[in-house]
Amino acid sequence: MPRFLSALTLALSPALLLAADPPPAGLKPIEPIDLKRTDPISYEKDVAPIFAAKCTVCHAGKLTEGKYDMGTHAGVMKGGKKGLAVVAGKSGESTLWLRSSHRMEKVMPPKSEENPLTPTEVAVLKLWIDQGAKGPAVDVRQRPKVVLGLPPALVKPVRAVAVSPEKDKPVIAAGRGNQIHLFDGKTGNFVKTLVDPELKLPDGKPASAAHLSLVESMAFSPDGKTLATGSFQEVTLWDMDKGTPKLRIGGFADRVVAIAYSVDGSQFATGGGAPTEDGEIKLFDAAGKPIGEIKNGHSDTVFGVCFSPDGKLLATSGADKFVKVFELPAGKFVKSFEGHTHHVMDVGWTADGKKLVSAGADNVVKVWDFEKGEKARDIQGYTKQITRLMFLPKTPTFLAVGVDASVRLWNADNGGSMKTYPAAGDFLYAVSASPDGGVVAAGGEDGVVRIYDGAKSTLVKAALPPDAEPKKK
């Protein structure tokens, strides 16, 4: 809502405020209805939805006109560049209510918006302030609803890949744009495309896609029966036997850029969050039921999540340059590791649970001694950022890819390079492998899924879905 509360309260007495800002000429005040309520007004249920509908388009996140952030209760109470907007217990002295009810210039929302508060909304806001302007038990950021359309046809990066655990018939899943394609892990041949039939465009037409926005993350359950995929504000669980979605999970703040299952498959974790605002870490059981959330774990987007081998700990990495470890299921902070000078793009555990490895946008892979809480070594050799890493189960070895388009296998115990696979043509976002390392897959900006023979370190196929194949003459 443009300019909503752009000039809020001045740091003056209410009398001076009212004298300086008389009621708008020719505009009738919005009279509040008699709510006839005896129960307290709930910020979460009653007030925050009003702000989300009428205010946070211009007063939340990166856009905070008048430096007034109404995305949280704390922000509402803090006020803007001209001072407080809410005086708890005194609606008549609160410019938030005076301007919203058209009793003071500048009215809010602006007259040009033709979207004023209703008499009911004005009444709710007034009573909430008079009752003390209390906030929620947990301050949840209110964000404007985002209407998504399909990404441009030419935007087809492969930002996520996953190799199923089946030894004989491994399947490679790849998120290409907003599509999810399946390939034969042995031959690289295209198998099928996963489509959510209930996914609709804003005009009501079928989307014919897996997600509306780009597929940012994915992981197979350890039994291979479920594929979890993350996109903007949602995660979808796919039944791999049927090739159909079985659950769509919403309620995420922004992109879901990381997904990881526990070794026993009993739960999975997601990482994401709104950039520069907070890091979001959520926990779900195997069926997709929420079982926990780690609040305030990171101050910026969480790019990596990984369970310890015994499932008792969760390691995370984020744009705030930290690697952190939390105890499960309570989410209790255990320790952090500091040393990266840029975003930490991913994190993983060695099979014995004694070491952590992190990949940085500072062009360095760091190995951490978990028990001592200190760095064990740096792994050098990169000139550009490392985007993803993945440990091979029951080994100290891990794959890493990055902006230099390389696919490499490293040993965390000694920091040595073990293998280098044929490089891609463009920078890489994702890497995955079968449990035995026999099948390796990587995806990147050029939209190609590169499938490797892990043992021979050779390229099996640079795979594309049929509709992306060059037309035959």
CB contact set of 319 (below 8 Å; sequence gap of 6+): 275, 276, 279, 298, 300, 301, 302, 303, 343, 344
Query: Are the C-beta atoms of residues 397 and 410 closer than 8 Å to each other?
Result: yes
Same domain, 330 and 458: yes
Tell me what pLDDT residue 82 has.
77
In this prediction, residue 20 has a pLDDT band, given cuts at 50, 70 and 90, of very low
Residue, of 145 and 373, whose pLDDT is higher? 373
> Mean pLDDT across the stretch 13-22?
38
Counting every residue, how long is the chain?
473
> Mean pLDDT across the stretch 453-464?
94
Alpha helices, DSSP H only, in 4-159?
Answer: 14-20, 48-54, 73-78, 95-100, 119-130
Same domain, 292 and 196: yes
117 is a domain residue: yes
**Strand 256-261, strand 267-272: pairing:** antiparallel
The answer to whether residue 97 scores a pLDDT higher than 60 is: yes
4 is a domain residue: no
- Closest by Cα among 247, 230, 198, 166 to 238: 247
The answer to whether residue 440 scores a pLDDT higher than 50 is: yes
- DSSP string of 161-200? EEE-S-SSS-EEEEEETTEEEEEETTT--EEEEE--TT-B
**Strand 244-249, strand 234-239: pairing:** antiparallel
| Whole-angstrom distance, CA of residue 33 vs CA of residue 22 | 23
450 is a domain residue: yes
137 is a domain residue: no
Tell me what pLDDT residue 274 has.
85
**Measuring CA to CA, how many Å separate 304 from each of 260, 326, 435?**
9, 13, 20
153 is a domain residue: no
**Strand 439-444, strand 428-433: pairing:** antiparallel
The answer to whether residue 24 scores a pLDDT higher than 70 is: no
Same domain, 48 and 194: no
Same domain, 79 and 167: no
Phi, psi of 91 (to 5 degrees): -65, -35
Tell me what pLDDT residue 13 has.
34
2 is a domain residue: no
The answer to whether residue 1 scores a pLDDT higher than 50 is: no
Q: How many CB atoms lie within 10 A of CB 225?
A: 15
The answer to whether residue 246 scores a pLDDT higher than 70 is: yes
Same domain, 280 and 351: yes
The answer to whether residue 435 scores a pLDDT higher than 90 is: yes
The answer to whether residue 18 scores a pLDDT higher than 50 is: no
Same domain, 337 and 270: yes
In this prediction, residue 16 has a pLDDT band, given cuts at 50, 70 and 90, of very low
What CATH number does the domain containing 162 carry?
Answer: 2.130.10.10
The answer to whether residue 6 scores a pLDDT higher than 80 is: no
Same domain, 285 and 382: yes
Query: Are the C-beta atoms of residues 250 and 234 closer than 8 Å to each other?
Result: yes
CB contact set of 468 (below 8 Å; sequence gap of 6+): 156, 176, 447
148 is a domain residue: no
For 144-202, the pLDDT digits (tens) are 556 566 676 667 899 999 999 998 899 999 999 999 999 999 999 999 999 999 998 87
> Mean pLDDT across the stretch 238-267?
95
Same domain, 315 and 443: yes
Same domain, 208 and 324: yes
Tell me what pLDDT residue 144 has.
54
In this prediction, residue 53 has a pLDDT band, given cuts at 50, 70 and 90, of confident
**Strand 217-220, strand 449-453: pairing:** unpaired
The answer to whether residue 259 scores a pLDDT higher than 60 is: yes
Same domain, 236 and 347: yes
Tell me what pLDDT residue 453 has.
95
In this prediction, residue 469 has a pLDDT band, given cuts at 50, 70 and 90, of low
Residue, of 417 and 8, whose pLDDT is higher? 417
9 is a domain residue: no
Number of independent structural domains in the chain: 2
Question: What's the mean per-residue pLDDT of the chain?
Answer: 87
- Closest by Cα among 230, 207, 197, 194 to 149: 207
> Mean pLDDT across the stretch 315-340?
96
Tell me what pLDDT residue 116 has.
85
DSSP class of 123 = H
In this prediction, residue 142 has a pLDDT band, given cuts at 50, 70 and 90, of low
Cα dihedral 93/96/99/100 (nearest 10): -130
The answer to whether residue 137 scores a pLDDT higher than 80 is: no
The answer to whether residue 217 scores a pLDDT higher than 50 is: yes
> Mean pLDDT across the stretch 250-268?
95
Q: Could you tell me what percent of the chain has a pLDDT over 70?
A: 88
Q: Which domain holds residue 20?
A: 14-130
Same domain, 169 and 292: yes
> Mean pLDDT across the stretch 264-293?
93
**Among 133-147, 184-198, 253-267, 381-395, where is mean pLDDT lowest?**
133-147
Tell me what pLDDT residue 56 has.
74
Tell me what pLDDT residue 290 has.
94
